[in-house]
Amino acid sequence: MSEAVSEIGLIGLAVMGQNLALNIADHGFKISVYNRTTSKMEEFVAANPDTPGGLVGCETLEGFVASLKRPRKVIILVQAGAATDKVIEGLIPLMEEGDIIIDGGNAKWDDTIRREKELTAKGLRFIGSGVSGGEEGARFGPSLMPGGTEEAWQYLKPVWEAIAAKVDPDTGKPLEGAEPGKPVEGGFSCTTYIGPDGAGHYVKMVHNGIEYGDMQMICEAYDLMQNVLGLTPSEMGDIFGEWNKGDLDSFLIEITADILKQADPVTGKPFVDIVLDTAGQKGTGKWTSVNALDMGTPAPTVAEAVFARCLSAVKEERVAAETILTGPDAPEFTGDKTEMVEAIRQALYCSKICSYAQGFQLMREAQKEYNWTLDFGKIAQIFRGGCIIRAAFLQKITEAYARDPELANLLLDPYFKGAIDACQASWRKVVALAAQYGVSIPTFSSALSYYDGYRTARLPQNLLQAQRDYFGAHTYERVDQPRGQFYHIDWPKPDRPQIEA
Ligand code: 2AM
């Protein structure tokens, strides 16, 4: 194959690669595909002979590159890290100035910054694009977060806009296909140029961190309803189904309702009851939390969601500890269960607002750190369709940034302030109830502490700074002097001034 026939090419035919390639071909783009293991490519091409655009199977990397129209656009969907570098290394000698490499994997944003720099120096153009939505999203409409060389975006844009999830431009509601599996046309496409070098992969990482928070919050609501109120999975399935009709309308609430209604195919018992309580993770939540620590930006709710998975993983220790460590003697719940369910819903909503406030703060800080100019309203909008955190709520974030693009924190927006004003009494009641009953609610309670800390003009860190000055001469600023002037007391002297009793 030496004739340049394809609009675009894709390397890496694992599940995500196959689905994305079919989505691209469905939209009329001829796409060349290559996989390290040739048999996988052959099976894939043979299984999909009639796509509108057409698949061009390539056995060699040379043939693959030669089959692409210029400037060549090559999407890489292999494992993040060393495999991605290896594939790029193989491509470099085969590509020409101006050609474009697009990494659609879950790359760490600083790897994307490095790769963009290296490829730019070689005359190639690089885009690191977040792809969210799992298999289903990749196949029928993901949320796409491209960052990198801006002029390269113009070449990728027609393809990315065609294949991304579509939402109603006014309401932000996801548009469903006329027929299942048929591409959706029209509407706002859930992709936008995010910013230079690693900006796209950074935003994808924060998306995943927020996803960790959302999932853990839902689990805490489930835990309270199960272990304090004594509700059954099926009853909770109905409740989540109801919640999905209101402020919490989202993909994750919807699938939770489905899961809680699901029977185990083997035993017929509620499916959730037979699933072992140990969660895995691939690292993007951890990256988000580590980055928050590195930048000194509070994102405690995301971090708690990561730690909750870590705690879940030490199953054997927890099983042993349950026989040794005691909790409160919680009485049977005798209050109004319907009222408490509503309080839990409100606590979940408030916690979610705080978690998103933290995620958007993180992006705000990162844009200073990395010299990006991020459009937070647009980012919330492209999360509306295709991705795992898609939710009606994101429209409120878009609206908040439309009201004030410089908004310091989502909590300060009138809509979110109003929501928390209306719901915080319930939120506090739920957090107190969990403490009384000994139910672990790391995200609900950390979000509340974040909220209370953020709205407190004078925190107790006056005492902390005094401690630092005492043992380490770290100095302190004074309330009665301008900021930026530092003082120190010569502490250890026995005759230091004492407060009169
Ligand atoms: P494979 O089918 O030959 O294993 C996800 O693992 C995808 O990344 C697969 O398509 C896999 O190809 C590909 N992949 C993993 N490591 C690779 C490498 N070093 N070079 C090329 N492709 C690789």
Q: What is the DSSP string of 220-286?
A: HHHHHHHHTS---HHHHHHHHHHHTTTTT-BHHHHHHHHHHHPBPTTT-SBHHHHS-S-----SHHH
- pLDDT surpasses 60 at 1: no
What pLDDT shows up at residue 175?
83
If you average pLDDT over residues 480-493, what whole number do you get?
92
Comparing 195-199, 222-226, 277-281, the range with the smallest average pLDDT is 277-281
If you average pLDDT over residues 134-149, what whole number do you get?
95
Q: Is 89 a catalytic residue?
A: no
What pLDDT shows up at residue 491?
86
492 Cα–ligand 1 center, Å: 63
Q: Give the pLDDT band (50/70/90) at residue 183.
A: low
If you average pLDDT over residues 74-81, what whole number do you get?
97
Could you tell me if residue 16 is left (phi over 0), alpha (psi between -120 and 50 degrees) or otherwise beta?
alpha
* Cβ of residue 417 lying under 6 Å from some atom of ligand 1: no
- pLDDT surpasses 60 at 182: no
What pLDDT shows up at residue 178?
43
Q: Give the pLDDT band (50/70/90) at residue 180.
A: very low
Helix-strand-coil split of the chain, %, nearest 5:
55, 10, 35
Average pLDDT of the chain, as a whole number: 95
Catalytic residue among 204, 286, 352, 396: 204
What pLDDT shows up at residue 179?
47
pLDDT tens readout for residues 295-317: 999 999 999 999 999 999 999 99
- Give residues with Cβ within 8 angstroms of 451, minimum separation 6: 350, 354, 411, 420, 424
Q: Name which residue sits closest to atom 17 of ligand 1, judged by CA.
A: 83
* pTM (two decimals): 0.95
pLDDT tens readout for residues 3-17: 999 999 999 999 999
What pLDDT shows up at residue 181?
52
Catalytic residue among 7, 211, 220, 304: 211
* Cβ of residue 13 lying under 6 Å from some atom of ligand 1: yes
* Cβ of residue 79 lying under 6 Å from some atom of ligand 1: yes
Q: Is 204 a catalytic residue?
A: yes
What pLDDT shows up at residue 496?
74
Give the Cα separation of 55 and 31 in Å (integer). 5
- β-strands 188-189, 166-167: how paired? antiparallel
Tell which wins on pLDDT, 169 or 412.
412
Question: Among 78, 91, 94, which residue has the most ligand 1 atoms within 8 Å of its CB, making it the best to mutate?
Answer: 78
400 to each of 317, 378, 380, 408, 423, how far by Cα in Å?
45, 11, 10, 11, 19
Classify residue 127 by its DSSP letter: E
* Cβ of residue 90 lying under 6 Å from some atom of ligand 1: no
What pLDDT shows up at residue 168?
85
